[in-house]
Amino acid sequence: MTNARLPTGLSGQILACSVTFAGVAFLAMTGFSLLSFYHNRATALEDQRAVLSHTEHLIRQTPELKRRYQERHASASSKHLLLAGQSDSEAAANLVQTVQALAARHQIEIASQETVPPHAIGHFRAISVRIALTGNWPAFVALLDDFDHTEPRLLVEDLEIQRARTVTNATRGHTSAVDSTLSITGFRADRGTPGQTAQTP
């Protein structure tokens, strides 16, 4: 068998240079690939650390966020349940306006109205108005139902009902006309400021 011989001379030098260049190129490509892999890996790890840090931050904030939500929810609910107004007189005016609007909706006449002096009940101020109404019986029943379901919440007290004594625009043509007197009470938050809780004359 004939032994293979490597070329010598100029051909051998060219072959040696080619092999060396190919080896260097291979090593370079391998090195660049490894560097790219480690760089991408480091970037991914850094992103994971950032996500983990953000998640831990949110977890630490959860109790505070829950507390704020509950406070705002309670505040929003209170705003719907309580009379608007920074003082007793403002709250009383809003109460009267609400009562007048509900009565007008059912074509019930308000014969008279009198604001009752406000008083404290726990952390609230009770704002009341005593009113005399005239209207037909079905409309009056519907009005009482509105008082029970309206916002702000209203409390009906001291209800008195009797057959209507006179004919008015609200009762003309109805055989079930009634006169009624009742107290309507709403509530506002008591902030404890003397100027805000002064009694309404």
Pair (60, 43) in one structural domain: yes
Pair (31, 65) in one structural domain: yes
Last residue of a domain, one of 81, 104, 127: 81
Last residue of a domain, one of 81, 100, 131: 81
Pair (140, 124) in one structural domain: yes
Pair (15, 34) in one structural domain: yes
Pair (68, 93) in one structural domain: no
Pair (114, 69) in one structural domain: no
Per-residue pLDDT of the chain (201 residues; tens, 9 = 90+): 455 555 566 666 666 666 676 766 667 677 667 677 667 777 777 777 776 776 676 677 667 666 665 555 445 445 578 888 889 999 999 999 999 999 999 999 999 999 999 999 888 899 999 999 998 888 999 999 998 888 888 989 999 988 877 766 655 655 678 899 999 999 988 876 444 444 433
Pair (177, 118) in one structural domain: yes
Domain presence at residue 51: yes
Pair (114, 182) in one structural domain: yes
Domain presence at residue 15: yes
Domain presence at residue 198: no
From CA 198, how far away is CA 119, in angstroms rounded?
Answer: 9
Pair (70, 93) in one structural domain: no
Can you give the residue range of the structural domain that contains 96?
A: 88-189
Pair (72, 112) in one structural domain: no
From CA 126, how far away is CA 188, in angstroms rounded?
Answer: 7
Q: What is the pTM of this model?
A: 0.54
Pair (28, 46) in one structural domain: yes
Domain presence at residue 2: no
- Nearest 10 degrees: CA dihedral of 7, 10, 14, 19? 40
Domain presence at residue 197: no
Residues 6+ positions from 136 with CB-CB distance below 8 Å: 170, 171, 174, 176, 177, 178
Residue ranges of E strands in 28-123: 109-121
Pair (115, 71) in one structural domain: no
